[in-house]
C-alpha cells in the first residue's frame, strides 16, 4: 500500500519536471526559430548585418567606447571637463550629417552596389582609427579628436546603411517590418547591457587605449558584413542623374520645412535639447575624483551606466504600454517638468545631502542614473513619434534623417553650452567648488522649454499632423529616395546626456 500511495506523488513530480523542461525549451527555441524565420525570409546575411551593426558595433562597441573615451580624456589626454564636453560634441558631428550618408547609399552605387561598399568603407575607417588610437603612445589631442571623429563617422555610415537595408526589406516584406524593428531594438539593447556591464572591467584591466584596440573588432565585423551581404548588382548607372536626385530631394524637404506645421515643432525639439545643457563630463570628473567626490572605480562606473540603460528600457516600455496615446503637448509638459526635477538628484549628490539622510553614494548614484535615464527616455519618445508624423510621403526616410540631424545639432549645442558653463564657473579637473551652481543652472534651463510648448501641436498623437499640401507631396517615382533612419543611437546619445 505504501508503494501505491507514492506513485501519484512520483507521477506529479515527473509532470512538473516535464512542464519545466517544456518551458525552458520554449524560451530557448522561440527566439531561435524566430531568427531562423527572418534568415529564411530575408537571407541570413541581412540578420547577421543587423546583429553586428546594432548589437556589436553600436550596442557593445558604443558602451565600451563611451567609458573608454571618458577615461582617455581624463587620464591620458588630461583635459579639463569643459574641454572634454566640447570634444564630445565634435566627435558627434558625423551623426548631424546623416542625411548625406543616406543619400549617398541610395543614389551613388559603387561598382554596381548600393550597400556593400559603404559597409566596407565604414568598417575600414573604424579599424584604422581605433588601431591608430590604441597603438600610438603620445598622440596630440587634435589628431586624437580627428581619429575619434573618424571612428564615429564609421559607426554612423554603417548605421545609415543597415537602415537602408531594413527599409528595403520592409518594402518587400511588409508583414515582417515590425519583426525587423524588434530585431534592431533587441540587438542594441542586449549589446548595450552587456557592454556597459563589462566596460569598466576592461578599462581597468587594459586601460582606455587597450579598449580602443578591442573596438577595432566590431569595426572589422562591419567590414565583414560588407563582404558577406547578399545584394543584387546594378548593371549600369547614369551618374548624370545624381545631381537631379539630390536637387529633387532638397526641393521636397525645403517645401516641407517652410510649413508652419513642421518648422514650429522642429524648433521646439531643437531648443528643448539645446537648453538642457549637458554637463555630464563635469559629473564624471567629480564622481571619480578621490577628494571632492566619492572616487568611484572603473568597474563601478560601468555598472552605473548599465543600470542607467535598464532605466531607459523601462521608460520605453512605460511609454509603449501606458502613455503613447496621450496628446503630445500634455505628455511633453509633464516629462519636461520631471526631467528638470530629476536633475535635482545630482544637486543632492554633489552637496552630499544624501549622506545626511543615510544614503550611501553608490546606492544614490544608481538610483539617480536609473530614474534620470527613464525620464529622459519618456521625454524623448513622444518627440520621436512626432518627428515620424512630420515626414511627407515619398521622402519619409530622408526627411526623418534631416529631423534627426536637427536634433543632433541640438545635442551638440547642449554639449558645447555645458562646456562653456563649466568653463566660466571654473570647474576643472580638481576644482569643483562651483559645480553645484552649474547643476542648478542646468536644472533651471531644463524647465524653460515649458514656455515653448505652444510650438507643439495639441492634437491626437494617432491622427495625421501634416496639412494637405504637404501630405500630398510626392516625388516622381524615378527620383524617390528611400532611406530609413535608425533611432537607437540618437536615443542612446540623449539618454547619456
Residue 307 forms part of a structural domain: yes
Q: Residue 300 in contact with residue 292, Cβ under 8 Å?
A: no
pLDDT at 490: 41
Residue 8 forms part of a structural domain: no
Question: What is the Cα–Cα distance from 121 to 363, expressed in whole angstroms?
Answer: 44
Give the pLDDT of the chain (497 residues) as one tens digit per residue. 444 444 454 566 655 555 555 555 555 677 778 778 877 877 888 888 888 998 899 889 988 998 899 999 988 888 899 898 889 889 988 888 877 777 777 777 788 787 889 999 999 999 999 999 999 888 899 999 999 999 999 998 998 888 777 767 766 676 666 567 667 777 887 888 888 888 889 998 999 999 999 999 999 999 999 888 887 777 666 666 667 777 777 777 777 778 787 888 889 989 999 998 899 889 989 998 888 888 888 888 888 888 887 887 788 778 767 777 778 888 889 989 999 998 899 999 999 898 888 888 888 888 888 888 888 878 877 777 777 677 666 565 567 677 778 888 888 899 999 999 999 999 988 889 999 999 999 999 999 999 998 888 876 666 666 665 555 554 443 344 444 434 344 444 445 44
Question: What is the Cα–Cα distance from 203 to 134, expressed in whole angstroms?
Answer: 13
Residue 57 forms part of a structural domain: yes
Q: Residue 387 in contact with residue 400, Cβ under 8 Å?
A: yes
Give the three-state DSSP class for 113.
strand
Rounded to two decimals, the pTM is 0.73
Q: Residue 42 in contact with residue 179, Cβ under 8 Å?
A: no
Copy the grid coordinates of residue 278: 549637458
Helices (H), 289-395: 298-318, 328-342, 344-350, 353-356, 361-389
Residue 16 forms part of a structural domain: no
Residue 76 forms part of a structural domain: yes
Residue 7 forms part of a structural domain: no
Question: What is the Cα–Cα distance from 252 to 394, expressed in whole angstroms?
Answer: 9
Q: Residue 375 in contact with residue 345, Cβ under 8 Å?
A: no
CATH of the domain at 491: 1.20.1250.20
Residue 256 forms part of a structural domain: yes
Q: How many domains, in total, are found in the chain? A: 1
Based on its alpha-carbon atoms, the radius of gyration of the chain, rounded to whole angstroms, reads 24
Give the three-state DSSP class for 138.
coil
Question: What is the Cα–Cα distance from 403 to 461, expressed in whole angstroms?
Answer: 18
Residue 13 forms part of a structural domain: no
Give the three-state DSSP class for 110.
strand
Question: What is the Cα–Cα distance from 413 to 265, expressed in whole angstroms?
Answer: 18
CA distance to 67, 359, 376, 381, per residue, from 338 (Å): 27, 22, 9, 14
pLDDT at 174: 67
Residue 225 sits in which domain range? 22-230+239-495
Q: Could you count the other beta carbons within 10 Å of the beta carbon of residue 79?
A: 18
pLDDT at 213: 93
Copy the grid coordinates of residue 348: 543632492
pLDDT at 151: 93
pLDDT at 417: 92
Question: What is the Cα–Cα distance from 443 to 178, expressed in whole angstroms?
Answer: 37
Phi, psi (rounded to 5 degrees) for 482 = -125, 70
pLDDT at 130: 94
Amino acid at each position: 500500500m505504501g508503494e501505491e500511495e507514492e506513485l501519484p506523488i512520483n507521477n506529479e513530480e515527473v509532470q512538473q519536471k516535464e512542464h519545466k523542461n517544456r518551458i525552458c525549451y520554449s524560451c530557448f527555441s522561440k527566439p531561435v526559430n524566430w531568427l531562423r524565420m527572418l534568415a529564411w525570409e530575408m537571407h541570413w546575411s541581412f540578420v547577421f548585418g543587423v546583429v553586428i551593426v546594432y548589437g556589436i558595433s553600436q550596442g557593445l562597441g558604443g558602451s565600451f567606447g563611451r567609458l573608454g573615451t571618458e577615461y582617455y580624456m581624463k587620464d591620458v589626454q588630461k583635459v579639463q571637463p569643459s574641454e572634454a564636453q566640447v570634444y564630445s560634441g565634435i566627435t558627434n558631428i558625423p551623426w548631424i550629417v546623416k542625411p548625406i550618408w543616406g543619400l549617398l547609399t541610395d543614389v551613388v552605387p559603387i561598382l554596381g552596389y548600393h550597400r556593400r561598399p559603404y559597409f566596407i568603407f565604414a568598417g575600414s575607417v573604424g579599424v584604422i582609427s581605433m588601431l591608430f588610437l590604441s597603438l600610438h603612445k603620445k598622440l596630440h589631442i587634435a589628431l586624437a579628436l580627428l581619429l575619434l571623429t573618424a571612428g564615429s563617422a564609421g559607426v554612423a555610415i554603417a548605421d545609415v546603411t543597415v537602415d537602408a537595408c531594413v527599409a528595403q526589406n520592409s518594402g518587400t516584406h511588409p508583414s515582417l517590418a515590425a519583426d525587423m524593428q524588434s530585431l534592431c531594438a533587441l540587438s542594441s539593447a542586449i549589446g548595450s547591457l552587456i557592454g556597459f556591464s563589462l566596460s569598466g572591467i576592461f578599462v581597468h584591466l587594459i586601460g582606455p587605449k587597450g579598449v580602443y584596440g578591442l573596438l577595432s573588432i566590431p569595426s572589422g565585423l562591419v567590414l565583414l558584413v560588407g563582404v558577406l551581404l547578399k545584394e543584387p548588382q546594378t548593371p549600369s548607372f547614369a551618374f548624370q542623374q545624381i545631381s537631379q536626385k539630390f536637387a529633387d530631394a532638397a526641393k521636397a524637404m525645403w517645401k516641407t520645412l517652410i510649413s508652419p506645421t513642421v518648422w514650429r515643432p522642429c524648433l521646439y525639439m531643437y531648443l528643448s535639447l539645446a537648453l538642457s545643457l549637458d554637463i555630464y563630463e563635469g559629473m564624471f570628473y567629480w564622481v571619480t575624483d578621490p577628494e571632492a567626490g566619492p572616487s568611484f572605480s572603473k568597474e563601478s562606473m560601468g555598472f552605473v551606466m548599465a543600470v542607467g540603460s535598464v532605466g531607459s528600457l523601462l521608460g520605453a516600455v512605460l511609454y509603449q504600454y501606458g502613455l503613447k496615446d496621450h496628446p503630445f503637448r500634455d505628455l511633453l509638459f509633464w516629462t519636461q517638468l520631471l526631467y528638470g526635477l530629476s536633475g535635482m538628484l545630482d544637486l543632492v549628490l554633489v552637496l552630499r545631502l544624501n549622506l545626511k539622510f543615510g544614503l550611501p553614494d553608490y546606492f544614490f548614484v544608481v538610483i539617480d542614473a536609473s530614474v534620470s535615464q527613464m525620464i529622459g527616455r519618456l521625454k524623448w519618445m513622444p518627440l520621436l513619434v512626432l518627428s515620424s508624423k512630420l515626414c511627407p510621403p515619398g521622402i519619409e526616410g530622408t526627411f526623418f534623417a534631416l529631423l534627426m540631424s536637427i536634433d543632433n545639432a541640438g545635442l551638440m549645442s547642449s554639449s558645447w553650452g555645458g562646456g562653456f558653463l563649466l568653463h566660466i564657473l571654473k570647474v576643472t579637473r580638481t576644482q569643483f567648488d562651483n559645480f553645484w551652481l552649474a547643476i542648478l543652472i542646468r536644472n533651471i534651463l531644463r524647465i524653460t522649454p515649458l514656455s515653448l510648448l505652444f510650438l507643439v501641436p495639441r492634437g491626437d498623437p494617432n491622427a495625421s499632423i501634416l496639412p494637405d499640401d504637404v501630405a500630398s507631396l510626392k516625388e516622381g517615382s524615378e527620383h524617390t529616395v528611400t532611406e530609413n533612419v535608425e533611432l537607437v543611437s540618437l536615443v542612446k546619445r540623449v539618454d547619456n546626456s
